[in-house]
Amino acid sequence: MNVSGSVREMEIQQLCGVQPVESSSNLETNKTCQSDLNANLQKLSRDLETQYSQDIPSLPSILLEIMRHES
């Protein structure tokens, strides 16, 4: 099949909602990307937890200061 035939076949598959079978290399790439994403989300979660857990002890004094200014 030539390139234009291949492109046409892909267009028909998309229009009909037919998903081509992914190759094993694409599946491995997707697994790697998913694994990287999970690792990044876990790191972000730990970083945010560290950042905000350091802010928690100062929260009562900040709230008291706000309350004083509103009175």
> What per-residue confidence (pLDDT) applies to 60?
87
Give tens-digit pLDDT for 45-61: 888 888 878 778 888 88
- What secondary structure does DSSP assign to 4-69, as a single string? HHHHHHHHHHHHHTPPPPPPHHHHHHHHHHHHHHHHHHHHHHHHHHHHHHHHGGGHHHHHHHHHHH
Decide if pLDDT at 3 tops 60: no
Hey, what amino acid is at 23?
S
What is the pTM for the complete model shown? 0.40
